[in-house]
Structure 1
Amino acid sequence: MTEETRRPEHEATATLHEDGQPREVAQKAFPKVLTILPLLQRPVFPGLTLPITFQGKDFLEAIRQVMENENGYVGLVFAHEEEGENGQVDYDYEEVGVIFQIYRVNQTGPDTVQVLGQAYARIIRQRVLLVQPTVRWEVAYHFDPEEKPDQELKAYMLAISADIKELLKLNPVLKEQVNLIMSQLDMERPGPTMDLISNLLSAEAEQLQELLETFDLKERARMLLKLLREELELSRLKQKIQKQIDEAVNKQQKEYFLREQLKAIKRELGMEKDEAETEIEKIRKKLEGKQLPEEAQKVVEEEMDKLRILNAQSPEFHVVRNYLDLIAELPWGITSEDNQDIRKAREILDRDHYGLEDVKERILEMLSIIVKRGTVSGTVICLVGPPGVGKTSVGKSIAEALGRKFFRFSVGGMVDEAEIKGHRRTYIGAMPGKLIQALKRVGTSNPVIMLDEIDKIGTSFRGDPASALLEVL
């Protein structure tokens, strides 16, 4: 809902010079008592026409009253919110604000209203007449002196003008507002000019309020110049940071485009293939000369077909590639040549161990059977004894006697069956089981593998490694 207001009766408060500057406002044109509305973000300076939004039924009613009875005159004062009694919000008002005439009211919601108007002059609180339901003050007005500025004040105004022009170069966003200010700069009227410039500053609200409360023009000019210099430094720093970011981004984009162009050129010349083909070629080279069973070969071909259609940036691509790498690194068809000389095996056992005749005889019997049958199908030797009697070294001697590679791992304290069977390959950091790791490490498919401390294997909520081990063995 939009409500048009009446213009003030006194001509001096509503008309402009031909050059667009507001006329000097006579003090008698304004009422001595004003309804006060709070500004929570930052104070407003005289001479500016702007929209302001207020929320709350009390504010809506107060605005309706001033539009009907007081020609739309209100006081705008910077305030801080405070928690009052019964959870209500109270406002701690500053002592200096501005008189503001509302020209137009637009209700944008049930309890929200936007007003358009102009700020005219500074007001100073003399006495608080009413607090509830609306705040009303008896006020005094401050008008800047009309005499011509002296040389010192003119020097300040020239410095302010130069900083405003510099700010325009650094911050193009403010171009329209700064151009408006520059068109209205009047060295003969420093007060209104400084107020127009003050409205552009993005300084802290408390600093702007202090500037509003500064009535001496020279002191105000000095303070405004200081705030402008801080604004300039902030704009320079912002521009420097933005430039660094742009340079970094542009460099990265340039490198990316150059790399892509280089890849495209190499592919056209046949010097480079895409990542999937490159990985498949590496895997095929690793598999050359290895005798994969038919079932394993089928799995490899299926996974390679899958790898070709996957995006190189996809997580699934890396999972499939790692799986194929593991298969390619296993010793398919690579075996150690067995030693069939029982006398040499006896020499190795006697060299490494003193005594233990019954153990040596049992091992030599097993080796004799292997030599006679020509195979080691399903043979498992269990070595039992207290710590330090040589169980692990006997296992090494057996491997040396057979002429095979030796791999030992301890299962003492193992509580996860994935250590035996391996993890699902979709997990991050998935690894094969210990037996597959043993084949990969020793590089042959017929090593002697010793499972040490098998009596200390554990059980937990994550599975039973002993049962998984029984299945593997």
Structure 2
Amino acid sequence: MELPLLPLRGVLVFPSMVVPLEIGRKKSLHALEQAMLGDRALVFVAQKDTRQDDPGEDDLYRVGIVAEVKQVLKMPTGGSKVVVEGRSRCRVLAIHEDTEGMNAEVEEVPEASEMSDELEALMHAVRDLYEVYVKNSRKMPGEASVAINIDDPGRLADTVIATLDVRTQEKQEVLEDFDVTDRLTRVSDILSRQIELLEIEKRISGRVRRQMERTQKEYYLREQMKAIQRELGEADDGEGEIAELRSRLEALSDLAEPVRDKVEREIKRLEKMSPMSAEAVVVRTYLEWVLELPWTVESETRLDIAEAESILEADHFGLKRVKERILEYLAVQSLSSEIRSPILCLVGPPGVGKTSLARSIARATGRRFVRMSLGGVRDEAEIRGHRRTYIGALPGRIIQGIRQAGTKNPLFLLDEVDKMAADFRGDPAAALLEVLDPEQNHHFSDHYLELPFDLSSVMFITTANVLHSIPRPLLDRMETIAVSGYTDEEKRAIAEKYLWPRQVKQHGLAPEQIQLGRRVLTEVIAQYTREAGVRQLERELSAICRKAAREVVEGKKLRIRVTNLRRYLGRPRVFHGAAEEQAAVGVVTGLAVTETGGDIMAIEAATMPGKGKLTLTGQLGEVMQESAQAGYSYIRAHKDHLAVPDHFEDTVDLHVHVPEGAIPKDGPSAGIAMASAMISALTGRAVRPDVAMTGEITLRGRVLPVGGIKDKILAAHRAGIDEVIIPERNQQDLEDLPANVRKKMAIHLVRHLDDVLPLVLVKQEQVMH
């Protein structure tokens, strides 16, 4: 059977259903005319893609509906409205298309079904599900469930699917189910899924409705509160807060235009927000930070050199070089206001007063003091801050310190700058480059503020124990000043002037109740402390005060002397190195620098029959082992000149040992000491016990300069050694020695190992062959 074909877009016709349609496409109108000329029968087939205006054969499904046109009404616009009634399903066998329209050869599929228990159960299930769907759907009228009181199972399935709000493809699948049981089953599944979607939609809409009701209630109550406050004259609402922010902004008359514009924009944003919203809290906190920063506030810097010098002298003993550098800066600043604040790096062992010195500099210059500890800092955001997109974001600790100071020119101490580390959160040392660069820090940008802040007026001072762990680009931006350890005389003076009076006061004692003589202080320093600074010394003095306080309370008489010092501090815990008592073969006194200051160390060499093997023990580092190898090679190359035994490199084994083997040792400064010990052991000539030495040796026997000369010579002086051998190129380091030490010590400057040997080897006792 061949009938005119009319494609449908987004709508389907089912058997026994009367459906109104609007027809406007030219080919569709032609098919309608052909049907009206015949027996009013048409084939309706759905399009696969509704966007197609002129569908072809491949754009149409192969199962459709044969329908009869019941009524036609032509529209003024040229289209037609028709009412059609579905007659039966059909298979489309072929489609013939020409320029005017389409015809289709179809085969009608009769609706045949026998009622069974399964079909009846399915019909009951579909009716029940449909009633639930109509009840929950806001688009379906309540009487829609009455329309499905149908006894025919196939017609029931068609009627239900036609009224559901589902995709055309799902309706087409139902249309293509010729078996009634399968059709009802598919409709039942679609209904179940639609009911689940409706329940989810209902839950969501209920949540939204409750939220809206709560918001409306809060808004209503808030407006009532505002009205009551206005009546009472208590304008403590958002409007008052906005007015306060604007007045604070106007008070900052010298604020830069970019900053002022940014703040005004944020105030306008805050004005449009609900005061209780989370975003309003973020904006309010940001505005508080920006408006509280001292954009233009500067404290008056003290430029009186004499007063600043008296403050520095009163607060700290010694430290001449550091004090001179600060006074030089103040002198230049008094002549020129354009000088940039220096960036000093105080380097020295723990406890020598680096942090307290920075406080004294702030007091001497009249600046506010801010301290920031960098020990263990691993997050770049600690310096630059977090962006405002993060919950709980805050500015970095630089901006926080400026706010804490209340001025834009404080003294900012960056403590323990050598203890920073980097990980996946960034490198804080790299972030400090901009902070400590005078060419960049006049527009430092914090991630939280997103505004440039001028740090060029800040006086930055950093402290470190060592320099090698500070990144080179960061170290290049700082002027390093070495704060070396104190001599015993300096420690005694510091204790008498600062530490002891402070401890007596802190422990509630009166100066007349307890007194400490110089001999007792000397004994405490020598027998109970081993350090470059004075922290341990202050702890020991605190221990004396604690025991003294108990004796005062018990009514006992106080007498602290060297003879009864053990009663207060216990047995001595520190034993400094002492000089050898008599000359010995193969034993040389070397000098070393540790974290606690200088110290002496014995270097021992021994020979034994063997095959020329050199053994090094004492937990020596690679550099120290290389120094011993260099000295050994020099001895082998100049054995005739040094009068060592012939062929010793084939017949004698050498063992060099540095005692206290549990302590790691490294560095090149023991080179001449190890070479002298090996020559003494090989020649049998004893070494003077009252001479100590330090210096690096080369393969040619030259003596190169080393570091820590002051600490090493002080260690020799403390050990009772009268003569010290140092490299000639270290002569300028002698200026740092206290005058009394320079007078007591005989210091020999050497260029070559040949200059060393006559000073230390005393006589020929034994020659090995």
Q: Indicate whether the TM-score tops 0.5.
A: yes
For 1:65, the equivalent position in structure 2 comes to: 34
Per-residue deviation, residues 38-57 of structure 1 (Å, max 9, x unmatched): 23435321233334455643
On the 8 A contact 2:290/2:449 being kept in 1, the answer is no
Gaps of 5+ in 1: 1-31, 439-447, 457-473
Alpha-carbon shift at residue 183 of structure 1 (Å) = 4.1
For 2:222, the equivalent position in structure 1 comes to: 259
For 2:453, the equivalent position in structure 1 comes to: 432
Relative to structure 1, the CA distance from residue 264 to residue 217 in structure 2 (aligned partners, 3 Å threshold; closer, same or farther) is same
Is the partner of 1:119 in helix, strand or coil? Answer: strand
Q: After alignment, is 72-81 or 121-130 more displaced?
A: 121-130
Per-residue deviation, residues 400-456 of structure 1 (Å, max 9, x unmatched): 533433147977699999952689xxx9832432247x5xxxxxxxxx568998997
For 2:442, the equivalent position in structure 1 comes to: 420
Alpha-carbon shift at residue 125 of structure 1 (Å) = 2.9
- CA–CA distance in structure 2, aligned partners of residues 136 and 49 of structure 1: 22
Alpha-carbon shift at residue 242 of structure 1 (Å) = 1.9
Pair 1:230 & 2:193 matched: yes
Pair 1:99 & 2:58 matched: no
Alpha-carbon shift at residue 98 of structure 1 (Å) = 1.0
- CA–CA distance in structure 1, aligned partners of residues 336 and 35 of structure 2: 105
Per-residue deviation, residues 153-209 of structure 1 (Å, max 9, x unmatched): 44433333322222221013111xx6256246232x444343222211234434423
Pair 1:179 & 2:137 matched: no
1:169 to 118, 127, 135: 135
On the 8 A contact 2:15/2:89 being kept in 1, the answer is no
Structure with the greater alpha carbon radius of gyration: 2
For 2:13, the equivalent position in structure 1 comes to: 44
On the 8 A contact 1:283/1:328 being kept in 2, the answer is no
Q: What code does the residue aligned with 2:160 have? A: I
For 1:117, the equivalent position in structure 2 comes to: 83
Relative to structure 1, the CA distance from residue 77 to residue 286 in structure 2 (aligned partners, 3 Å threshold; closer, same or farther) is closer
- CA–CA distance in structure 1, aligned partners of residues 20 and 439 of structure 2: 71
- CA–CA distance in structure 1, aligned partners of residues 180 and 299 of structure 2: 97
- CA–CA distance in structure 1, aligned partners of residues 231 and 341 of structure 2: 62
- CA–CA distance in structure 2, aligned partners of residues 79 and 174 of structure 1: 26
For 2:207, the equivalent position in structure 1 comes to: 244
Per-residue deviation, residues 46-69 of structure 1 (Å, max 9, x unmatched): 2333344556433333333333x2
Is the partner of 1:100 in helix, strand or coil? Answer: strand
Is the partner of 2:139 in helix, strand or coil? Answer: helix
- CA–CA distance in structure 2, aligned partners of residues 95 and 369 of structure 1: 98
Q: What code does the residue aligned with 2:102 have? A: V
Q: What code does the residue aligned with 2:339 have? A: V
Is the partner of 1:137 in helix, strand or coil? Answer: strand
1:380 to 316, 323, 339: 339
Alpha-carbon shift at residue 340 of structure 1 (Å) = 1.5
On the 8 A contact 1:37/1:77 being kept in 2, the answer is yes
On the 8 A contact 1:47/1:119 being kept in 2, the answer is yes
Alpha-carbon shift at residue 121 of structure 1 (Å) = 1.9
Q: What code does the residue aligned with 2:42 have? A: V
For 1:313, the equivalent position in structure 2 comes to: 271
TM-score of the pair, normalised by structure 1: 0.60
Pair 1:198 & 2:161 matched: yes
On the 8 A contact 1:211/1:223 being kept in 2, the answer is yes
Relative to structure 1, the CA distance from residue 387 to residue 101 in structure 2 (aligned partners, 3 Å threshold; closer, same or farther) is farther
Alpha-carbon shift at residue 274 of structure 1 (Å) = 2.8
On the 8 A contact 1:124/1:142 being kept in 2, the answer is yes
For 1:17, the equivalent position in structure 2 comes to: none
On the 8 A contact 1:348/1:401 being kept in 2, the answer is no
Q: What code does the residue aligned with 2:65 have? A: V
- CA–CA distance in structure 2, aligned partners of residues 123 and 322 of structure 1: 75
On the 8 A contact 1:34/1:137 being kept in 2, the answer is yes
- CA–CA distance in structure 2, aligned partners of residues 381 and 415 of structure 1: 11
On the 8 A contact 2:43/2:66 being kept in 1, the answer is yes
Alpha-carbon shift at residue 360 of structure 1 (Å) = 6.1
Relative to structure 1, the CA distance from residue 182 to residue 413 in structure 2 (aligned partners, 3 Å threshold; closer, same or farther) is same
- CA–CA distance in structure 1, aligned partners of residues 332 and 188 of structure 2: 103
On the 8 A contact 1:50/1:118 being kept in 2, the answer is yes
Per-residue deviation, residues 23-49 of structure 1 (Å, max 9, x unmatched): xxxxxxxxx321122234353212333
Is the partner of 1:186 in helix, strand or coil? Answer: coil
Per-residue deviation, residues 340-359 of structure 1 (Å, max 9, x unmatched): 16344457687335xx5xx9
- CA–CA distance in structure 2, aligned partners of residues 63 and 416 of structure 1: 88
Q: What code does the residue aligned with 1:434 have? A: L
Gaps of 5+ in 2: 274-282, 349-353, 369-410, 415-431, 463-472, 478-769
Alpha-carbon shift at residue 101 of structure 1 (Å) = 3.0
- CA–CA distance in structure 1, aligned partners of residues 475 and 329 of structure 2: 22
> Which structure's relative contact order is higher, taking Cα pairs within 8 Å and 6+ residues apart?
1
Per-residue deviation, residues 237-271 of structure 1 (Å, max 9, x unmatched): 22222222222332333333333333443444445
Q: What code does the residue aligned with 2:68 have? A: Q
On the 8 A contact 1:51/1:115 being kept in 2, the answer is yes
- CA–CA distance in structure 1, aligned partners of residues 338 and 59 of structure 2: 91
Pair 1:76 & 2:40 matched: no
Is the partner of 2:367 in helix, strand or coil? Answer: coil
Q: What code does the residue aligned with 1:41 have? A: G
Is the partner of 2:15 in helix, strand or coil? Answer: coil
Report the count of equivalent residues: 383
On the 8 A contact 1:130/1:137 being kept in 2, the answer is yes
Is the partner of 1:340 in helix, strand or coil? Answer: helix
Relative to structure 1, the CA distance from residue 99 to residue 376 in structure 2 (aligned partners, 3 Å threshold; closer, same or farther) is same
Q: What code does the residue aligned with 1:222 have? A: T
Q: What code does the residue aligned with 1:161 have? A: R
Relative to structure 1, the CA distance from residue 267 to residue 118 in structure 2 (aligned partners, 3 Å threshold; closer, same or farther) is same
Per-residue deviation, residues 352-402 of structure 1 (Å, max 9, x unmatched): 35xx5xx966864776799xxxx777273787999989xx99998754533
Q: What code does the residue aligned with 1:313 have? A: E
Is the partner of 1:80 in helix, strand or coil? Answer: coil
Alpha-carbon shift at residue 213 of structure 1 (Å) = 2.9
- CA–CA distance in structure 2, aligned partners of residues 384 and 318 of structure 1: 35
- CA–CA distance in structure 2, aligned partners of residues 417 and 116 of structure 1: 84
Identity rate, percent: 21
